[in-house]
Structure 1
Amino acid sequence: MENHVAIELEAMVMKAQPLFTAQSCCIYKVPHEVRQLNEDAYTPVLVSIGPLHHGNPRLVTMEAHKQFCCQQLIQKSEASLSDLVSCVQELEPQIRACYSEKIELTVDEFVKVIFIDYCFVIEFVFNYETMLSFQSDSIFSKPWVVKRVMYDLILLENQVPFFVLEKLYNLALLARNRHFPSFTNFVVSKFSFQNEQSVLPPPDTNSIAHFTDLLRYLYLPPFHTRPSRYRRGQLGFGHGGLLVVLGHGASEFVEAGVKFTVNESRQGCIIDLKYEYGILKIPHILLLEDWTEISLRNILALEHCHYPQEHYVFDYVDFISQLINTGKDVDTLVENGIFNNQLGDNKNVAEFFRGLKRNIVVTSYNATYFHISQELDAYYRNPLHKNLAAMKRWKGAVSIGGIVLLILTIIQTVFTILQVVL
């Protein structure tokens, strides 16, 4: 006698298909354990790009503006509307495969959504400076709107594949004017405010998946100079742990004689730390409360999902968070030009960096940072440097004690005079 449940289950599982493959997928829903720490940092406020937030009632207002931008791009395009749409239609299977979630849209619906969004992104980025200079029309004449849309464009869940943006840009604009820069150079120039180290555009555009991935690229050194990595357990610390831990904050290292300076090298990037002979060089980072948290959180979410073996930006955040355990540690880095703190109280900076790395899973560690932590620890444990730190703390304690004693002496003198007078 046939088991009808078994028959139904067999039919069900035979139809099962993987939602995505590691080779093609690059756009993810941020995992719940990461997203719950600050949902606003991963959720678009004004505009949805791609299918993951399409149809959100909070974002419907921007749809008409997206269509207007699409119209503007079509009017200036050398290619016909039919050619532009055909480009997206031909690439629809590859575009759909880039998303980690199953997209509940028909092929035609998906093409329409993606086409409007692609045109909007190109037109918006193309006119970014004009909008900021109050020369645009309608809603984009408001600078806060322009800035917020730019924030929305770098969210991991709000992405479209970079390679199709490039194809449409080439069809619509580059064919018309050969003096236009390549799409990659064009976009990198728009993100110059996030590129303090003047990192050059990637030579291979296929290496960039989308805007979030581009921001991560601007944090990293060139491919051929990226440091090697140690895997869990490779260093033999037991239980598979890495134990790459800084035992002291920046202020304690300074007491021991370590000097902190800004790494001025323009060949590196924001995570390019250098240590030699008691001097730790760290590139300058400008702390902008909104943009810094949004960009770093989405880059870390991308590394968590897409670069589990190459989480270089997480390594940087983790290293800095260990250097700044207290407000005094932050003071040390601010005084030495590493930070330009716009987050308010310096204690907020320490909590800011600690909060960024929560719930991110790591499987390896940056070998360069590991060796820097080992050398810093050895420098601090050197008896000469250790005694210097102890003397500085003792001197501080003596100074505080002397001040207290002076205050008590003054109070006692005042009381003595008052007793005599009265």
Structure 2
Amino acid sequence: MEGLQNLTTKWKKLSPLSSECRIYRVPKRLRDVKEKAYTPQVVSLGPLHHGGEGLQAMEEHKLRYVKDFFERIPEVRVEDCFTYLMDREEKIRACYAVAIEFNAHKLVEIILVDAIFTFELLLKSSFDSLQDKNDCIFGKPRMSRVVIYDMMLLENQIPFFILEYFHTVYFTNRPIPWLSLFELTHKFLQNGVYIRSLGDTMKKLNHGPQEDRIHHFVDFVLKCHRPQPSELPQIKKLKTSTIPRATALHQAGVKFVNCELHDHYISDYVFFIDRLVDQSKDVELLVENNILESKLPDSEAAAAFINSLDFGPILFSRDFYFTDLCEALNAYYSVPGTSGRQA
């Protein structure tokens, strides 16, 4: 009976499932391929990588940003901000899909510092007058881009509703110019990642349903790129993952045009591109047709990178957005004479 009591005690301690849970650990299958690709290199944001190796140097700089924030709005007390976050500690904890090892006070301290640091990054990026020439981020070439790369890691996220709180605190106590959090975020991220124009982005973010609100930075970029549901192709079961590579299709007369992105439409799209690319010539063809934009040294490096992406069996456990396109390409290419035709 003692074992049964232990079991019931454990499940009584389980926290309820939350709709707020949006920040996850990267699956071990992907992390084992390249650990460094999923680990922040210069700055931790949130509790999952706090105190990580090589990230300590930025902790002092975070505190400088916190100091800047409160000195600019002296009527706001840090104690009040801490209390506000403490009242929402359970909601904050529920945003993460793993158990957080820190107690309530430590977790709130981490979130407060990291959220204000993040918000200050957005402010300083939009208002040059707030930047210090000796700043270790804005005062060094390309450093802000390195920070942005860390901010794009799924495990390295701050819940967006906390940034919304500090945005309100700041601009309620400041004169114009006033910028929305969407505008601040867009302006900062466009320095390091591909993102659509502000006009297109604001339309999508302002007219979406309430339940489709922004959850964190990765979610922001995703929602900027995805088309409206009415614009999506029909998803169907994928019968085969094999299609001719890009240069072979080009020789057969296939024309390439840009595609849109949406949720797992994105991973489906990348999987589809992986099927098209086998050699450097395939990359060169897709670059010529504005399908790919590579920042890697050459087309061979780009082809190697695309071919190294490991999707495993996950695409075959659900419907696929590009089923019709794959089937149409295979059907076209199988017609006698097309495979040898020059475009």
TM range (shorter): 0.7 to 0.9
Counterpart-to-counterpart distance in 1, 2:109 and 2:35: 28
1:245-291, Cα deviation, whole Å (9 max, x unpaired): 34201111111111224x4xxxxx7538xxxxxxxxxxxxxxxxxxx
Query: Once the 2 structures are TM-superposed, how far is the Cα of residue 366 of structure 1 from its aligned partner?
Result: 3.8
Which position in structure 1 is the counterpart of 2:339?
A: 389
* Aligned counterpart for 1:62 among listed residues 34, 58, 63: 58
Higher mean C-alpha displacement, 28-37 vs 114-123: 28-37
Larger radius of gyration: 1
Change (3 A) 1:374 1:165: same
Higher mean C-alpha displacement, 341-350 vs 40-49: 341-350
Query: Once the 2 structures are TM-superposed, how far is the Cα of residue 68 of structure 1 from its aligned partner?
Result: 0.8
Change (3 A) 1:329 1:195: closer
Which position in structure 1 is the counterpart of 2:35?
A: 39
Q: Which amino acid aligns with 2:5?
A: E
Change (3 A) 1:338 1:8: closer
Q: Which amino acid aligns with 2:59?
A: E
Contact 1:229/1:364 (<8 A) preserved? no
Contact 2:160/2:216 (<8 A) preserved? yes
Which position in structure 1 is the counterpart of 2:288?
A: 335
Structure 1 or 2: more strand by fraction? 1
Query: Once the 2 structures are TM-superposed, how far is the Cα of residue 95 of structure 1 from its aligned partner?
Result: 0.4
Change (3 A) 1:45 1:88: same
Q: Which amino acid aligns with 2:339?
A: A
Moved >6 Å (runs of 4+): none
Structure 1: which 5+ runs fail to align? 1-5, 236-241, 264-268, 273-309, 394-422
Change (3 A) 1:20 1:346: farther
Change (3 A) 1:391 1:90: closer
1:96-126, Cα deviation, whole Å (9 max, x unpaired): 1111221122211111111111110000121
Counterpart-to-counterpart distance in 2, 1:388 and 1:100: 50
Query: Once the 2 structures are TM-superposed, how far is the Cα of residue 158 of structure 1 from its aligned partner?
Result: 0.9
Query: Once the 2 structures are TM-superposed, how far is the Cα of residue 169 of structure 1 from its aligned partner?
Result: 1.1
Q: Does 1:271 align with 2:261?
A: yes
Counterpart-to-counterpart distance in 2, 1:217 and 1:360: 26
* Aligned counterpart for 1:26 among listed residues 3, 22, 29: 22
Which position in structure 1 is the counterpart of 2:153?
A: 155
Counterpart-to-counterpart distance in 1, 2:35 and 2:62: 24
Query: Once the 2 structures are TM-superposed, how far is the Cα of residue 391 of structure 1 from its aligned partner?
Result: 5.5
Which position in structure 2 is the counterpart of 1:207?
A: 213
Counterpart-to-counterpart distance in 2, 1:338 and 1:153: 25
Q: Does 1:169 align with 2:167?
A: yes
1:159-188, Cα deviation, whole Å (9 max, x unpaired): 111111111211122442354122123212
Alignment of 1:132-281 (within 5 A): 135-140=132-137, 141-177=139-175, 179-193=177-191, 194-198=193-197, 199-201=200-202, 202-203=205-206, 204=208, 207-230=213-236, 235=237, 242-261=238-257, 263=258, 270-271=260-261
Change (3 A) 1:185 1:32: same
Structure 2: which 5+ runs fail to align? none
Provide the secondary structure at the position in 2 that maps to 1:259.
coil
Query: Once the 2 structures are TM-superposed, how far is the Cα of residue 315 of structure 1 from its aligned partner?
Result: 0.5
Higher mean C-alpha displacement, 353-362 vs 369-378: 353-362
Q: Percent identical across equivalent pairs?
A: 30
1:176-235, Cα deviation, whole Å (9 max, x unpaired): 2354122123212322353454241312575221111112223311355344433xxxx4
Contact 2:44/2:55 (<8 A) preserved? yes
1:322-347, Cα deviation, whole Å (9 max, x unpaired): 11122222222233333344323423
* Aligned counterpart for 2:265 among listed residues 301, 307, 312: 312
1:347-381, Cα deviation, whole Å (9 max, x unpaired): 322231232343472332343x2222222223223
* Aligned counterpart for 2:80 among listed residues 78, 83, 87: 83
Query: Once the 2 structures are TM-superposed, how far is the Cα of residue 30 of structure 1 from its aligned partner?
Result: 1.3
Q: Which amino acid aligns with 2:201?
A: L
Alignment of 1:318-397 (within 5 A): 318-359=271-312, 361-362=314-315, 363-367=317-321, 369-383=322-336, 387-390=337-340, 392=342
Contact 1:170/1:183 (<8 A) preserved? no
TM-score (norm 2): 0.85
Contact 1:19/1:102 (<8 A) preserved? no
Contact 2:42/2:58 (<8 A) preserved? yes
Q: Which amino acid aligns with 1:184?
A: F
Counterpart-to-counterpart distance in 2, 1:225 and 1:178: 38
Which position in structure 2 is the counterpart of 1:283?
A: none
Which position in structure 2 is the counterpart of 1:102?
A: 99
